[in-house]
A and B are shown apart, each in its own frame.
Chain A
Amino acid sequence: MSFVCGCIPIKRLSATPTEETNDAGNLMDFLDEPFPDVGTYEDFHTIDWLREKSRDTDRHRKITSKSKESIWEFIKSLLDAWSGWLVMLLIGLLSGTLAGVIDLAVDWMTDLKEGVCLSALWYSHEQCCWTSNETTFADRDKCPQWQKWAELMTGYTEGAGVYLLNYFLYVLWALFFSFLAVSLVRVFAPYACGSGIPEIKTILSGFIIRGYLGKWTLLIKTVTLVLAVSSGLSLGKEGPLVHVACCCGNLFCSLFSKYSKNEGKRREVLSAAAAAGVSVAFGAPIGGVLFSLEEVSYYFPLKTLWRSFFAALVAAFTLRSINPFGNNRLVLFYVEYHTPWYMAELVPFILLGVFGGLWGTLFIRCNIAWCRRRKTTLLGKYPVLEVIVVTGITAVLAFPNPYTRRSTSELISELFNDCGSLESSQLCDYINNPNMSRPVDDIPDRPAGPGVYSALWQLTLALVFKIVITIFTFGMKIPSGLFIPSMAVGAIAGRIVGIAVEQMAYHHHDWIIFKNWCRPGADCVTPGLYAMVGAAACLGGVTRMTVSLVVIMFELTGGLEYIVPLMAAAVTSKWVADAFGKEGIYEAHIQLNGYPYLDQDEFTHRTLATDVMRPRRNEPPLALLTQDSTTVEDVETLIKDTDYNGFPVVVSHESERLIGFVQRRDLILAIKSARQKQDGVVSNSVVHFTEDAPQIPASNPQPLKLRRILNLSPFTVTDHTPMETVVDIFRKLGLRQCLVTRSGRLLGIITKKDVLRHMAQMMNQDPESIMFN
């Protein structure tokens, strides 16, 4: 194995390819299009991390050396150093603003399905009722300024006809919103559909998807996310918010050439932008940074850590100043109770963890199967119809149950909150002791009234409904996130378990397990805490997050004393879920789409480099270039006949000793520019990669020197290198290809796609599913 560290920087030819009205017709069609200003990579290809790093080092060295020349250059070097922080500030501001707009709009439009506020049309139900002037206690839930549609249209508030009219209008609004969402996505920005996190993970590992983080995608994703969430579908907005934040990051990168011209530096900014996205989605800056570190990013140097934190803080602060929820909190379900938990309660918490793990496995398997069906069968040909049908089914089934009729965030908020003595909802219909005079947050355990039991039935139905419908919703062609539905499933399950434990503790307080820690008349069990733990368990089971999940949950709730239950549930759910399958939902989607993502799992098979390298025995020999005996015409033929991304350069066809590696794109550009600019370069000209021109008779045409585009330090391994090491090299250095030699002679090449295919084969998956290079 031979490492040659420190690439020799490849200087780009200063080709000016923009006047592309007609061409000589010699080379590929794609050259006809004007090259983008930024990016030197083709769409759906992987970047060369080492090259980007060395280019950045060059740029920095140049600026540093010039900064000593004059004051102006010094100021420019300072600005260059500070541009990173400025980009983070801008990203935080814009993400916070967009998140605030999304929250306010979702709030309003969700309630628009049911009714409208007459005093101010732009107020949602809660905002409208806050301004109501009811003064008597019995009227504390009445809100005459906010009227449902049936009441507005017919003037009646009760009756079967009114109920049916409300039902019908609810379904109609839901269908209208989702139809609008999917049409906008389809017409303006097809990349705006889905969650976005699997694709961003792949982009951050070095893949290029042009247009995925573009301005139209940003606009359409923001607009359609509001519509999709408001239509009552079982999806959340956290994943798409990460995508939105990364689009903002990309947008601001284009303002600074330090980031726009360097794909490696750009990905540092995108990692920080992802942290800002989660930060505004959950109101959890630290959790956002940890999420970016754990789930989304591939390379996360310490410098990015500090910058991500800054971006997340700025975003959270901006969102707080917009204050979409009226209580200076960032998330709708911020709870803040401090009732202690008891050791014996760890048993139900661990049970909730097991439930979370099982549900996670079930969800991943079913969702991937459904998405695969969408990808391969007739279902995928009717995306608009699919969205409309799913929305219709969701709305029709959700309206009768009051727990599914309201938005999922409100449901989670109600489940997380403990019942005060003044709550009038069905879930809090406890039988109050009339002589009770305890303060509102230390209410002893009470027996459940009939309202609680009917609420439990409805919650169970809601649980089943949500479990089933989310499988079909996630992955549709509208922006859809996964966090809120998972948390809802977990919260419902947790609350049910919590109420069960609470009633058991009340009615059987003389059992051994309760006697030690639960006196009658004390506040032992907090069902809201069980809901939180359940939510964490389910979210962990689906995404397999660990640290970031716990930090997000306790930043959401402000309860540092609940770290141990949350950790217990998260760890249990991860263990249970990992027993059935190693991948989280995002890795599973990456695998489904065949993205070239080399994950961090260990490769433990005993294969060697010879087993993976190309060409195999029955394949045509390696396409090579020699250092000074190929003509321009040969090169062009080679390019036309093959579609390899690069070609090794050897001394000669006989000795096959390796000189270097040249990229396809560089070759094409260089030859095209040489034909246009240099005199005497014709098809018969010899191409040489050596320093001096070869000895040729004077009558031959002028040779073409292409040493500048040659990478003189390609990575090589010997044929007996274990694949374990090769995979490690690819992963740690971000290589695209690696050459295989034996005693100095070139044998073959291993590309990233070959590595991925080999890993898939070793895991008994379909190696042909790796689509991209």
Chain B
Amino acid sequence: MSSSIAQNLRIAAVLLVFLVLIDVISLAYADKCICPPYRNISGHIYKKNVSQKDCNCLHVVEPMPVPGHDVEAYCLLCECKYEERSSNTIKVTIIIYLSVVGALLLYMLFLFLVDPLIRKHDPYTMPLQNEEDSEDVRPRVDGSQGRGNTVLERVEGAQQRWKKQVQEQRKTVFDRHKLLS
């Protein structure tokens, strides 16, 4: 059935997205040590690409501004922080998210503007906004079109069913306040 194919396609798309996210991880890590002013040495920030176990003052602060016996005292004052970033992951995630939002926005505009124009001639279609019709009136969309066998008609049928579902949900939540109030 088309719905299970669509369902499997969606699941595959989701898994693909997740795999892409994992694959594009290109790690960039760095250690940043902030050392305050000490005696007559001004404060400085040191950065170096080291792994987490090497993230301490001794490895990162180079060249060491104080002589050997003062190193320990100096290093006690410094604060070192380790961070690992994957800029590709961030970029891909943000781009995917924005494209999903954009697609939803476009679909919403389509449903509000273009769809009513297309379906102006079909008297059985219910528009997207809520109506005050009673529950017993259910226009027989399937009945008027018979059994649609082509892909387009099946998609249209699925879309009509989905719209009806969303309308029911909207009535339950927004109008009758039966759920989620």
Asked if A and B bind, the verdict is yes
Residues on A facing B (Cβ under 8 Å)? 20-22, 29, 32, 93-94, 97, 100-101, 104-105, 108, 120, 122-123, 127, 130, 133-140, 180, 183-184, 186-191, 193-194, 199, 209, 211, 215-216, 219-220, 223, 226-227, 251-252, 254-255, 321-323, 326-328, 371-372, 374-376, 380, 383, 420-422, 437-440, 475, 477, 592-593, 771
- Counting from the closest, the 7 A-B pairs by CB-CB distance are A137-B43, A375-B181, A97-B18, A122-B94, A439-B76, A190-B173, A190-B169
Residues in A neighbouring B95, C-beta threshold 8 A: 122
Assess the A136–B43 pair: CB atoms within 8 A. yes
Q: Which of B25, B89, B146, B177 contacts A380 (CB 8 A)?
A: B177
B90 and A215 contact, CB distance less than 8 A: no
* Pick from B43, B47, B174: contact of A186, CB under 8 Å: B174
Cα–Cα, bound, A211→B179 (Å) = 12
**Is B66 located at the chain interface by the 8 A CB criterion?**
no
A and B contact pairs by CB, cutoff 8 A, 24 listed:
A32-B138, A94-B14, A100-B93, A104-B94, A108-B90, A122-B90, A130-B30, A133-B47, A136-B42, A136-B45, A137-B37, A137-B42, A140-B34, A190-B170, A216-B162, A223-B101, A226-B97, A252-B11, A323-B86, A375-B181, A376-B177, A383-B174, A438-B76, A440-B77
Contact of A593 among B42, B142, B181 (CB under 8 A): B181
| Known contacts A136-B45, A137-B37; is-contact A188 B166 (Cβ 8 Å) | yes
Nearest CB in chain B to that of A134: its residue: B45
Given the known inter-chain contacts A136-B45, A322-B89, please indicate yes or no for A199 contacting B180, CB distance below 8 A.
yes
B180 touches A194 (CB 8 A): yes
Contact A327 B89 (CB under 8 A): no
Q: Does B91 contact A (CB under 8 A)?
A: yes
Q: Which of B18, B21, B85, B143 contacts A326 (CB 8 A)?
A: B85
Of the candidates B85, B142, B166, the one whose C-beta lies within 8 Å of that of A127 is: B85
Within B131-181, which residues are at the interface with A (CB < 8 Å)?
Answer: 136, 138, 140, 142-143, 146-147, 162, 165-166, 169-170, 172-174, 177-181
Q: Enumerate chain B residues within 8 angstroms of A420, measured Cβ to Cβ.
A: 79
Judged by a CB distance under 8 angstroms, whether B64 is at the interface is no
Do A771 and B178 touch (CB < 8 A)? yes
CB distance B36 to A137 under 8 Å? Answer: yes
Residue of A with least CB distance to B7? A254
B172 touches A223 (CB 8 A): no
By a CB distance below 8 angstroms, the chain B residues around A771 are: 178
CB <8 Å contact, B136 and A29: yes
B137 CB to nearest chain A CB (Å): 10
Q: Are A209 and B179 in contact (CB under 8 A)?
A: yes
Residues of A within 8 A of B77 (CB): 421, 437, 439-440
Using Cβ atoms and an 8 Å threshold, which residues of chain B touch A138?
Answer: 43
Task: With a 10 A CB-CB cut-off, give which of A180, A323, A376 has the most chain B CB atoms.
Answer: A323
Chain A residues with CB under 8 A of B94: 104-105, 108, 122
B window 40-83: CB within 8 A of A: 42-45, 47, 52, 73, 76-79, 82-83
> Can you name the residue of chain A whose Cβ is closest to the Cβ of B42?
A137
Pairwise interchain contact B165-A199, C-beta atoms closer than 8 A: no
Q: Is the CB of A137 within 8 A of B136?
A: no
A22: chain B residues at CB < 8 Å are 143
Number of interface residues of B (CB under 8 A): 68
B107 to chain A, nearest CB (A): 8
User: B106 within 8 Å of A by Cβ?
Assistant: no
Closest A residue to B80 using CB positions: A440
Q: Which of B10, B36, B166 contacts A215 (CB 8 A)?
A: B10
Whether a CB of chain A sits under 8 angstroms from the CB of B96 is yes
A100 adjacent to B169 (CB under 8 Å): no
B32: which of A130, A187, A190, A437 is its contact (CB, 8 Å)?
Answer: A130
What 10 new A-B contacts, CB under 8 Å, besides A186-B170, A190-B174? A94-B18, A105-B93, A134-B45, A180-B101, A189-B169, A216-B162, A223-B97, A223-B104, A380-B174, A437-B73
A323 to B111 alpha-carbon distance, docked (Å): 37
A193: chain B residues at CB < 8 Å are 173, 180
Q: How far is B173's CA from A194's CA once the two chains are assembled, in angstroms?
A: 11
Decide: A422 and B79 in contact? CB cutoff 8 A. Answer: yes
Residues in chain B near residue A211, CB distance under 8 A: 165, 169
Contacts of A130 in B (CB 8 A): 30, 32, 83, 85
Of chain A, the residue at the smallest CB distance from B17 is A97
Q: Across the two chains, which residue of chain A brings its CB closest to B41?
A: A137
Q: How far is the CA of A498 from the CA of B181 in the complex (A)?
A: 38
Closest-CB distance, B15 to chain A (whole angstroms): 8
How far is the CB of A537 from the nearest CB of chain B, in Å? 28
Determine if B114 is an interface residue (Cβ-Cβ < 8 Å).
Answer: no
Question: How far, in Å, is B65 (CB) from chain A's closest CB?
Answer: 12
A376–B177 Cα gap in the complex (Å)?
Answer: 8
Q: How far is the CA of A20 from the CA of B141 in the complex (A)?
A: 12
* Residues of A contacting B113 in the complex (Cβ-Cβ under 8 angstroms): none
Bound Cα distance from A187 to B87, whole angstroms: 34
Query: In the complex the two chains form, what is the Cα distance from A667 to B177 in whole Å?
Result: 32
Kindly provide the distance from the CB of A114 to the nearest chain B CB, expressed in whole angstroms.
17
The answer to whether B174 touches A140, judged by C-beta atoms less than 8 angstroms apart, is: no
Find out whether the CB atom of B93 lies under 8 angstroms from the CB atom of A104.
Answer: yes
Q: Indicate whether A187 sits within 8 Å of B181 (C-beta atoms), given known contacts A137-B42, A327-B84.
A: no
Across-interface contacts of A188 in B (CB, < 8 A)? 104, 108, 166
- Which of A135, A252, A376 counts the most B-chain CB atoms under 10 A from its CB? A135
Within 8 A of A (CB), among B93-141: 93-97, 100-101, 104-105, 108, 111, 128, 136, 138, 140
Is the CB–CB distance between A104 and B180 below 8 Å? no
Chain A residues whose C-beta falls within 8 Å of the C-beta of B52 in the assembled complex: 328
Least CB separation from A432: chain B residue? B36
B22 touches A (CB below 8 Å)? yes
Nearest to A374 among chain B residues (CB) is B181
Shortest C-beta distance, B33 to chain A (Å), equals 10
Closest-by-CB residue of A relative to B142 is A21
- Cα A592 to Cα B18 in complex, Å, equals 39
The answer to whether B82 touches A101 (Cβ under 8 A) is no
A579 CB, min distance to chain B CBs, angstroms: 27
Bound-state Cα–Cα, A194 to B174, Å: 12
Which residues from A are CB-within-8-Å of B10? 215
Residues of A within 8 A of B179 (CB): 191, 199, 209, 593
Give A139 to B36 CA distance when docked, in angstroms: 11
Contacts of A97 in B (CB 8 A): 17-18, 21
Q: How far is the CA of A226 from the CA of B140 in the complex (A)?
A: 39
Task: Check A137 against B170 for contact (C-beta < 8 Å).
Answer: no
Alpha-carbon separation in the docked complex, A209 to B172 (Å): 11
Say how far A632's CB is from chain B's closest CB, in angstroms.
24
B83 cross-chain contacts in A, Cβ below 8 A: 130, 326-327
B1-41 interface mask toward A, CB cutoff 8 Å, 1 = contact, 0 = none?
Answer: 00000010011001101100110010000101011110000
Q: How far is the CA of A638 from the CA of B25 in the complex (A)?
A: 65
In the docked arrangement, what's the CA distance between A187 and B113, Å?
Answer: 13
Is the Cβ of A137 less than 8 Å from the Cβ of B104? no
Q: Which of A194, A199, A219, A422 has the most CB of B within 10 A?
A: A422
Closest to B143 in A: A21
* Chain B residues with CB below 8 A from A108, complex form: 90, 94
Q: How far is the CB of A319 from chain B (nearest CB, A)?
A: 11
Q: How far is the CA of A437 from the CA of B96 in the complex (A)?
A: 49
Q: How far is the CA of A105 from the CA of B97 in the complex (A)?
A: 7
CA A120 to CA B108, docked complex, whole Å: 30
- The smallest C-beta distance from A323 to any residue of chain B, in angstroms, reads 6
Among candidates A20, A183, A215, A421, residue contacting B108 with C-beta atoms closer than 8 Å: A183
The reply to whether A326 and B84 contact each other, CB–CB distance below 8 Å, is yes
Q: How far is the CA of A365 from the CA of B180 in the complex (A)?
A: 17
Q: Which residue of A lies closest to B14 (CB)?
A: A94
Task: Assess the B43–A21 pair: CB atoms within 8 A.
Answer: no
Q: How far is the CA of A460 from the CA of B69 in the complex (A)?
A: 47
Q: Give the residue name and chain of the B residue nearest to A187 (CB).
A: B108
Q: Considering the chains assembled together, what is the distance between the CA atoms of A134 and B47 in angstroms?
A: 10
Q: Do B142 and A123 have beta carbons less than 8 Å apart?
A: no
**Complex alpha-carbon distance, A251 and B11, angstroms:** 8
Contacts of A139 in B (CB 8 A): 45
Q: Which residues of B contact A104 (CB under 8 A)?
A: 89-90, 93-94
Min Cβ gap B23→A in Å is 11
Please name all residues of chain A whose beta carbon is closer than 8 Å to the beta carbon of B25 when the two chains form the complex: 321-323
